Amino acid sequence: MSTLKLNKALTRKPGALVNKFLLVAGLCFFTQSSVVLGQPKSKPGVDEKRTTKQGEFRSLQKGASVLSLLPDGGLWVDLSRKWVVVDGQICLREGPLEMFACPQATKEHESVVSTKSTSRFVHAALLAIGARTGKPVKFDPEYIPASGSVIDVICIWKGENGEIETTLAQNWIAKGRSKKTLSHTWVFAGSGFWTDSATGEKRYYADDGALLCVSNFPTATMDIAVESSKDNNFLEYHANTSAIPELKTPVRMVLVNRPGKPTTNTPRALSDNAEILKQVKQWAEAIEAGQEPPKPMPSGEKPTSMPMSQSKGTDAR
């Protein structure tokens, strides 16, 4: 199955059973003849309902609309909400950034969050919720920003007393050493594949770390659609230390495909009072309490939001 055919198939609006089939097909495509870089090996006998350690999250209950994509948990697709849920942990609190999130054992020295999943599986999961790839950034002969479906990222963690905390990923990213935070959100650029000449295996570019980027990379799965250098001497964004939880704090990211067609414009981040934050927090609190989460918003209803540029302390560039 070609990349183009897979994208077309996975961005239709089939029923839950067809969606499951397409997701499996997508995962098979993304792993065919390739080595999964940085992917944790499954341990025999591990139960997804195992007792969680302090700060860790309960595994999502698999069902008709919730699919677990990793043997030990860490990546789920919620087809009813059209969310991708990605588990990881805080790996950096201070310093310049090229990425916001990377797969574990890749770019932790320049990312805030390291994820249990490789980038290719996150890509396949995004396709399953209806997100569409655009094109990665281009620099030659002129700068053309990345494009694709707009992806909002909400981070969840537990406070000192175990209470659920949520925030937009942008609040953990500062512009330079100022108090301004990232005012843009991500687009699903889609990365790409290359062939290992020694083995003939196809590999996914973004498995090297370029999952959620704040510097522009042609290999990015998700990128910001505004010019941002990857030159170490000119990195524009830094970890917003005062807002980020302690190192190794478990983090659950919810990736939301923003309603609307893929964009070639520069999408703005949501504001801190966006309705989706309330929905994610209520959902997370129910999961941790072992309760049934609130029913998802009816299909077609858009969560209320306002451009982050109207909020204080944001990069309004």
Residue 32 within any structural domain of the chain: yes
Residue 236 within any structural domain of the chain: yes
Residue 284 within any structural domain of the chain: yes
Structural domain count of the chain = 1
**Statement: residue 255 has pLDDT above 50:** yes
Q: What does the pLDDT average to over 138-152?
A: 95
Q: What does the pLDDT average to over 179-205?
A: 95
Residue 44 within any structural domain of the chain: no
**Statement: residue 224 has pLDDT above 60:** yes
Q: What does the pLDDT average to over 281-295?
A: 94
Mean pLDDT rounded to a whole number for the chain: 82
The model's pTM is 0.82
**Statement: residue 37 has pLDDT above 80:** no
The position carrying tokens 């964004």 is: 237
Residue 48 within any structural domain of the chain: no
Q: Would you place residue 27 in the very low, low, confident or very high pLDDT band (cuts 50, 70, 90)?
A: low
Which domain does 253 fall in, by range?
A: 3-37+56-310
Would you state the torsion angle of the CA atoms of residues 88, 285, 64, 59, taken in this order, to the nearest 10 degrees? 40
Residue 205 within any structural domain of the chain: yes
Residue 51 within any structural domain of the chain: no
Are 121 and 70 spatial neighbours (Cβ–Cβ below 8 Å)? Answer: yes
Query: DSSP string covering 129-197, please?
Result: TT--B----B-SSS-B---BSEEEEEEEEE-TTS-EEEEEGGGGEEETTSS-B--B-EE-----EEE-T
